[in-house]
Chain A
């Protein structure tokens, strides 16, 4: 321990003049708090006070904690002129903050403006923060201090033994009467489940609400303004979002009407669906559920060249000419098709509801 090398930021303090801390001070630890000199950072014996370095009274000074640290050091401690300059710099920053605050008050009274408000808030807090940084860096002590981590990571073996005894005091009698333990388990389990029943009030019983729509026999198709739709209303290559007239707000009922236009000749539905379409001079009209079978987004994009419906959420792509079979993307099932007919007034109606649940799948769907 002959030549102590200074570590970064440390100015070597005066040679310790006070008593060398050793084992004999164990038990006299209360005295440390009574001695005024050692509570002051300026006192000579301060450097030795192990309490400030995480060292328990009675413990030897660890080797990895330098004994010559001066944690009262700050940048301009020996340079009052420099300290003054630093102070002025900080004050300048804080004056800008003050002005920003006033500016905020003014702009608020004048009606507010998000850009000015944000800008002034940002500038004000920034200057406040810069002032604090300079204050800490230049005028306050406590830099680069090394202390002991202490012994909080593990208790002494003595305590580790006594805590087992404390826990065992309770667990042993419980363990010796397994019947009570098992009974508590059973009762607690059943009782616990029963008191959770009010949670079921959060929602209605799961019925086929997930599957049903408002479409039924001879339900008129209406547009979003409530007007019934005729076949001639859709131009070739046109689309229209329609709803069941009985319940236009039904979220499961949104349906997309498509006029295949020039591709009508390429549309060859299976026999079971050959009556589900409406043939018009301008093209074949078919209808599909607008609710994606993947995750329920509205499938609204129609590619009139590839005759594909695309869902914008995850790019599920459905081929309209093949009963909206999914040809790309994560959708696993075709879009359900709505069987169309024309009623006596010439308006489009649904023959029945959808033949399968619309929208995404769930456990009991099939």
Chain B
């Protein structure tokens, strides 16, 4: 065994030894470039719906109904007709999935603002409830349906970059099959940044409503939120954000969760306020310390 390990050990030791320091720079640069590139070009991007989140299976719907009656009907009423909480008949699987995945529901007090929380239900249970909520229009014998869980288009691969202008035109028209970060940034800046902040750090709405950070949202949650307009958030239907725009925004927000920060530590992403703190406390603080060490105090 050790005979096989010796050359490995030698190799590892050589990595740590002197020569590595010369290579460290280029290796680091290459490493960062690979990681950044894979983010930027979506080589590592996953498609959103790896497992179905809704089912039309009767057993699943029944299981969902049972869960719903036990945990949700006290506020939302039997068959989702509403009560202390709003009616869920046209909420759709998107709303169900969003609120349950982010732990916003069930809510203890209907007057609280639902904020991100740990999940109350398992994935299976969520699928069941999603299916039930999606079936509510039929159960209530009304026409129409709530928004389904949108499937997020993938990022355009790097190999397609020579087609950039064509892809841009397709995105503008709404016919693209993949999306670019740039289109996402452009749409995000117009429709989302005024509430969620340009780096996705969140903000403040009137009447004490906290606008949450987007740092923890999954692709599905992003798509769902846009389509359902949860709580004080406006609703973005297909007429306002078509499927391409929605996917682009979702992909860009994922990028914002780990953006390129070549300048160093991001200091919260909130901008000049945080920078001012660091500059005054750390910058001037260090210099005043230096002055005190160099000068007299009498």
Q: Do chains A and B touch in the complex (CB under 8 A)?
A: yes
| B-contact bits for A296-326, CB 8 A (1 contact / 0 none) | 0010111111101010100101000000000
Contact mask for chain A residues 226-259; partner B; CB cutoff 8 A; 1 contact, 0 none: 0001101111111111000000000000000000
- Asked if B231 and A305 make an inter-chain contact with CB atoms under 8 angstroms apart, the answer reads yes
**B205 contacts A114, C-beta separation under 8 Å:** no
Residues of A within 8 A of B211 (CB): 301
Q: Which of A107, A110, A116, A304 contacts B229 (CB 8 A)?
A: A304
Contacts of A235 in B (CB 8 A): 229, 235-237, 239-240
Q: Is the CB of B237 within 8 A of A238?
A: yes
Are A113 and B29 closer than 8 Å at their CB atoms? yes
Contacts of B262 in A (CB 8 A): 114
Q: How far is the CB of B183 from chain A (nearest CB, A)?
A: 10
Q: Which residues of A contact B294 (CB under 8 A)?
A: 133
Q: In the complex, what distance in Å separates the CA atom of A261 from the CA atom of B240?
A: 15
Checking A113, A114, A308 against B28 with a beta-carbon cut-off of 8 angstroms, the contacting residue is: A113
Chain A, 65-80, contact with B by CB distance < 8 Å: what is the 0/1 string? Answer: 0000000000000000
Residues of A within 8 A of B236 (CB): 235, 238
Tell me, yes or no, whether B209 is within 8 Å of chain A by CB: yes
B62 to chain A: which residues have CB within 8 Å?
none
Does A279 interact with chain B (Cβ within 8 Å)?
no
| Cβ-closest chain B residue relative to A299 | B194
Contacts of A301 in B (CB 8 A): 194-195, 203, 205-206, 211
Determine how close the nearest CB of chain A comes to the CB of B259; give it in whole angstroms.
15
Contact B235 A236 (CB under 8 A): yes
Taking A300-B195, A304-B229, A306-B206 as contacts, is the C-beta distance between A115 and B264 under 8 angstroms?
yes
Q: Is the CB of B206 within 8 A of A110?
A: no
Q: Does B271 contact A (CB under 8 A)?
A: no
Q: Does A118 sit within 8 A of B, measured CB to CB?
A: yes
Nearest chain B residue, comparing its CB with the CB of A136 = B294
Q: Which one, A107, A225, A238, contacts B25 given CB within 8 A?
A: A107
Interface presence of B275 (CB below 8 A)? no
Chain A residues positioned under 8 Å from B207 (CB to CB) = 303, 305-306, 308
B194 with A303: CB separation less than 8 A: no
A363 CB → nearest B CB, Å: 30
**Do B235 and A225 touch across chains, with their CB atoms under 8 A apart?**
no
Q: Distance in Å from the Cβ of A309 to the closest Cβ of chain B?
A: 9
> Which of A110, A310, A328 contacts B26 (CB under 8 A)?
A110
| Interface hits, B195-235 → A, CB 8 Å | 195, 203-207, 209, 211, 229, 231-235
- Whether A328 contacts B229 by the Cβ 8 Å rule is no
| A308–B25 touching, CB < 8 Å | no
Interface size class of A (residues with CB under 8 A): 35 or more
Contacting residues of chain B (13-71) with chain A, CB-CB under 8 angstroms: 25-26, 28-29
Give chain B residues whose Cβ lies under 8 Å from the Cβ of A366: none
B29, B195, B240 interface centre (most CB from chain A within 10 Å): B240
CA distance in complex: A233, B26 (Å): 51
B29 contacts which chain A residues (CB < 8 A)? Answer: 110-111, 113
A224 interface residue (CB < 8 Å to B): yes
Choose among A113, A118, A232, A312 the residue that contacts B239 (Cβ–Cβ < 8 A): A232
Q: Which one, B195, B206, B240, contacts A240 given CB within 8 A?
A: B240
A237 touches B231 (CB 8 A): no
Please report the C-alpha to C-alpha distance between residue A224 and residue B211 in the assembled complex, in whole angstroms: 24
B 178-190 to A, binary, CB cutoff 8 A, 1 in contact else 0: 0000000000001
Bound-complex Cα distance A234 to B172 (A): 18
Whether the Cβ atoms of A241 and B191 lie closer than 8 Å is yes
Q: How far is the CA of A107 from the CA of B235 in the complex (A)?
A: 50
Question: Whole-angstrom distance between the alpha carbons of A238 and B226 in the complex?
Answer: 10
Interface centre among A232, A303, A317 (most CB of B within 10 A): A303
Candidates A233, A236, A312; contact of B194 at CB < 8 Å: A312
Chain B, 249-270, contact with A by CB distance < 8 Å: what is the 0/1 string?
0000000000000111000000
**Residues of chain B lying within 8 A (CB to CB) of residue A308:** 206-207
Nearest neighbor of A302 in chain B, beta-carbon distance:
B234
A306 in contact with B232 (CB, 8 Å): yes
Contact in complex: B240, A110 (CB < 8 Å): no
| B150-203 contacts to A (CB < 8 Å) | 172, 190-191, 194-195, 203
A-B contacts, 29 listed (Cβ < 8 Å): A111-B25, A114-B264, A115-B264, A133-B294, A225-B172, A229-B239, A230-B239, A234-B239, A235-B239, A238-B229, A238-B235, A238-B239, A238-B240, A239-B234, A239-B240, A240-B239, A301-B203, A301-B211, A302-B234, A303-B205, A304-B229, A304-B233, A304-B235, A305-B209, A305-B231, A306-B206, A308-B207, A310-B206, A328-B206
List chain B positions with a Cβ less than 8 A from chain A.
Answer: 25-26, 28-29, 172, 190-191, 194-195, 203-207, 209, 211, 229, 231-237, 239-240, 262-264, 294
The 3 lowest CB-CB distance pairs between A and B, nearest first, are: A233-B239, A235-B237, A300-B194
Known: A113-B29, A239-B240, A306-B232. 20 other contacts (CB 8 A): A110-B26, A116-B25, A133-B294, A223-B240, A230-B239, A233-B237, A236-B235, A237-B229, A238-B234, A238-B235, A238-B236, A241-B191, A304-B234, A305-B209, A305-B231, A305-B232, A306-B206, A306-B209, A308-B207, A315-B204
